[in-house]
Amino acid sequence: MTYRAPTTEMRFLLDHVLDAGKLPETDRFAETTPDLVDAILSEAAKLCEGVLDPCRRAGDLSPAELTNGVVQTSPGFAEAFAAIAEGGWSGISADPEYGGMGLPITVTSCVNEMMSSANLALSLCPLLTQGQIEALEHHANDEIKAIYLPKLISGQWTGTMNLTEPQAGSDVGALRTKAEPDDDGSYRITGQKIYITWGDHDMAENISHLVLARLPDGKPGPKGISLFVVPKFIPDEDGKPGVANTVRTVSLEEKMGIHGSPTAVLSFEDAKGWMVGEPHQGMAAMFTMMNNARLGVGMQGVAQAEAAMQAAVAYARDRVQGRPLQGDEKTIIGHADVRRMLARMAALTATARAIGLDCAVSIDMATATGDPDWKARAAFLTPIAKAFGTDTGCEVADLGVQVHGGMGYIEETGAAQYLRDARITPIYEGTNGIQAMDMVGRKLMDGGKAAMALLGEVQRTAADACEAGQQLKMAANMLSETTEWMVASEANQRFAGAVPYLRAFALVLGGHYLLKAVAADESRLPLARYHVAQLLPEVTGLCAQARGGTDLLYALDFPA
């Protein structure tokens, strides 16, 4: 099945459901006109459909390999990445001063979704580079910016993020990598990092690693960590790749999915690096990269959902099996249970995409205006976009396999790849459990102000809607009460119910977006009605789970 980029759906969301029309009204994004956005999305669609998608299966069947210390990427990947670099897609939101396009994160999120649908394994490389560009723009000194940013933006170099160590996964503060100062102002970095996505490859002339490490006077825990840029090849006086740094690729992980993406174990052996930002402030600098990366990962989940749904619909329209009892369809798309699965896939995917792009618009508006309300809105939506987006990717891809039936379990159809590829997304950039705890922890420290502001928007949509609006109103009221319970409860009580709370919030937002869509296009009413009738009732149970507390969890015994 050939992927088709959903540019029409993206434009509809931006124009009629979200606040994207406010972006060109700001000084920062005044040039981001609808015509420009159309042109960008159209060109990205051509790249994704014509270049990235054709080598997706090759990446799955012929993984990246490490031979004699050299990583060889999957067939077609180098050529596809060259097309990404030539189009300037790595620097789409980067500062024009260094060669970037300066476009909103909203546009980048649309492009990233398309690239991830077409080829998730390959798209991870420019996504990480985008994150590094942002971190360097905010925290690096002018000398580092001048050397690294033009090369990263052009795609001549690529970027990575190095946090995880064998003993330090989500607990980054437990890392042991050391940084010793040198006389020339650089540092010697020593330690081992694991799970480094695109940690080594043969597609670009240099790789820039952002590495968390501890200075000799760094305190234990996360507050004693600093951030360093450590290149694979040390730039010479002209900024060109010079001698090889002492960074060694120990191995590549054999993974469940994203086989075309080399996930490396890297050993830094007195490797030369330069500090980014202030001493002992590495986590703050790295989080600049990670926050928008979380939105990017959420859109990867949306991307896998979209691609899996397209494949499932195509198969259901072609497969003849049994005799449907209603309608004129001769294929399995006429069967009620198949339609049930496809309807759920469509509603979840539409909801996840709307949440992700709403988050992106909020980030852009916060950047453009400095308004604290936009900033709070973006911060609250980020964990929802990441967690619900990636959960949706897995659920929809799983349903896609089911629609295919036995053929879905056969690798030949390609349905299984979407599920295998999607499964990592709820784990990296902070597991979805951590996202949910962040949501009920730090994101409710304002007493629930940001949450209630969003629910106020939902209530206004419900008031303007038809009979479905009453059901949305009831779900939003229930979620408001649960939010008040969260704000009043102790931390671990909140954490115990964080995941169902986040999902309940996402489903309520889904009803909000889908009913707003109907106001602009009545042909969208059936999907909105399905969501309200079939998915919103889940909010009742989810809110009950969210308020369940810890007693039942800690009463359980798990025998050794």
Active site residues: 429
DSSP string, 103-164: --HHHHHHHHHHHHHHHHHHHHHHHHHHHHHHHHHHHS-HHHHHHHHHHHHHTSEEEEEE--
Residue pair 391/301 in contact by the 8 Å Cβ criterion: yes
Residue whose pair of structure tokens reads 């979200």 in the numeric block: 18
Annotate 342-355 with b (16+ C-beta within 10 A) or e (fewer): bbbbbbbbbbbbbb
Alpha carbons 256 and 266: distance in angstroms, whole number: 20
Q: Is 11 helix (H, G, I), strand (E, B) or coil?
A: helix
Alpha carbons 101 and 94: distance in angstroms, whole number: 6
Looking at 182-329, list the stretches that DSSP marks H as alpha helix, in order from N- to C-terminal side.
282-318
Residue whose pair of structure tokens reads 């949501």 in the numeric block: 439
Residue pair 285/240 in contact by the 8 Å Cβ criterion: no
CA 182 to each of CA 110, 179, 185, 191, 528: distance values in angstroms, whole numbers, following the listed order: 43, 9, 6, 17, 61
Alpha carbons 537 and 472: distance in angstroms, whole number: 10
CB-based contacts of 407, cutoff 8 Å, min separation 6 = 315, 413, 415
Q: Which two tokens stand for residue 553?
A: 């969890």
